[in-house]
Amino acid sequence: MYLIGEALIGEGNEVAHIDLMIGDKDGPVGQAFANGLINASMGHTPLLAVIRPNLPPKPHTLIIPKVTIKDMAQAVKIFGPAQAAVAKAVADAMEENIIPKDQVENLVVVASVFVHPHAEDFRRIYHYNYSATKLALRRALTGYPPVEKVLFDKDRATHPIAGFRVQRLWNPPYLQIALDNPDIEKVKSVLSQIPQSDRIILEAGTPLIKRYGVGVMESIREVKKDAFIVADLKTLDVGQVEVDLAYNEEADAVVCSGLASKDTIDKFVYEARRLGIYAVVDMMGVADPIKTLKTLVELPEVVILHRGIDEEHGKRSGFETVKDIKGAFPEKKLLVAMAGGINPDTAKRAVQSGVDILIVGRYITQSRDVEKACREFLALLGEDIDVHRVHVE
């Protein structure tokens, strides 16, 4: 048996974070236990968990301090309340049959224990480490988290210590605001008026990038730190190179032209997938988007049905194409975006037809009241996604 558990509980400097392994003495966990006990490293001296001196729990548990111990004040916290808490949690887990009693002689636990150097309250150190250890054991023995939970939560989750939110497009529809004005100061003025919403995507438009380069995305993040930013490069050649340029400037998605060669689009999609950002293919000027998509080795994450500014009058809406594209690739999570002259009236029809991303430029960016213009679209998209970020275990 070789099982892994993790738990973070508490707050402030006394917060506890436990990573542990539980497994057979004659398996990899037993080997790690023995190696850890005999190979001490400076500042991370391993110690056996004991309920009190001369009373270890069953199964035997090795504690590895995560934080380098630099003085006796830190050592006392590990050798005192943290050690006792981990030991008591293991013993209670055995008593409650979280750890099967008939296996304790064959098992060992290796627990990595975090104690903040500035933690002061010994009772809280004990309290939080006890709970975190017991929860980590329960999770290890029950196979937590199930695959379904990982898949459900991975794009909803926000890491509490990272200091920023990584937004993913897991719950369409979205409003993508195209920032095409090639004047960064005017763009910043627009950005400052855009309301906070997880349903809003920002696009560094082609004219803006042509003037300032892909580095303009740093200027956008100065105003909207946590935004999902699309770099609209409309790549026609050297697909991998242009993806790398956008990625290095922290773009979340990058756009290739559907008029590019198959090889260019394939390399573009491959590189975006490799780096973990969204590949977007803009079908402006492409006569048969479905035919183009079917030639590709891998599909992009997003396809844009796009009418250019010079084409908006007298052309079919494209709404009828949305279902055709999704129907052609029913097994794929392909998002379909629509751009070109979108206003609140056409936006309603677009959402009803299954459009996942509404790309809007002038209606918002040239509005006298940017926030009001944004809210006209947001009202069509449903409640803000952030209300779904509920911490439930």
**How much is the average pLDDT of 165-175?**
90
Q: Helix, strand, or coil here: 40?
A: coil
Alpha helix positions (H), the chain: 28-38, 72-77, 83-95, 122-142, 147-153, 184-193, 206-212, 216-223, 239-248, 262-275, 289-294, 319-328, 344-352, 362-365, 370-378
pTM: 0.80
- Higher-confidence position of 128 and 155: 128
pLDDT tens track for 294-347: 999 999 999 999 765 554 454 555 678 899 999 999 988 899 999 988 999 999
**pLDDT, tens only, 34-69:** 999 998 888 888 999 999 999 999 999 999 999 999
> 234: which 2 tokens?
């409309």
* Angle subtended at Cα 326 by Cα 320 and Cα 331, rounded to the nearest 5 degrees: 165
pLDDT score, position 184: 96
User: What phi and psi, each to the nearest 5 degrees, are found at residue 90?
Assistant: -65, -45
Quick one: pLDDT band at residue 386, thresholds 50, 70, 90?
low
Round to whole Å and give the CA distance between 75 and 69.
6
pLDDT interval class at 236 (50, 70, 90): very high
Q: What is the pLDDT of residue 239?
A: 93
DSSP string across 235-270: E-S-HHHHHHHHHHTT-SEEEEETTS-HHHHHHHHH
Angle at which helix 262-275 crosses helix 239-248, to 10 degrees, equals: 30
CB 16 within 8 A of CB 125: yes
| Parallel/antiparallel/unpaired status of strands 107-113 and 16-24 | antiparallel
**Stretch (H or E) spanning 17:** strand 16-24
pLDDT given at position 385: 61
CA-closest candidate to residue 109, choices 81, 80, 138: 138
* Domains of the chain listed by start with CATH number: 2-144 (3.30.230.60), 174-388 (3.20.20.70)
Query: Mean pLDDT across the stretch 104-126?
Result: 97
Q: Which three-class secondary structure state does DSSP give residue 143? A: coil
Report d(CA 280, CA 356) in Å as an integer: 13
**241 and 215 Cβ atoms separated by less than 8 Å:** no
pLDDT value for 390? 47
17 is annotated as an active-site residue: yes
The catalytically annotated residue of 17, 118, 127, 388 is 17
Cα–Cα dist 29/149, whole Å: 26
pLDDT band of 4, cuts 50, 70, 90: very high
Mean pLDDT, the chain, whole residue set: 92
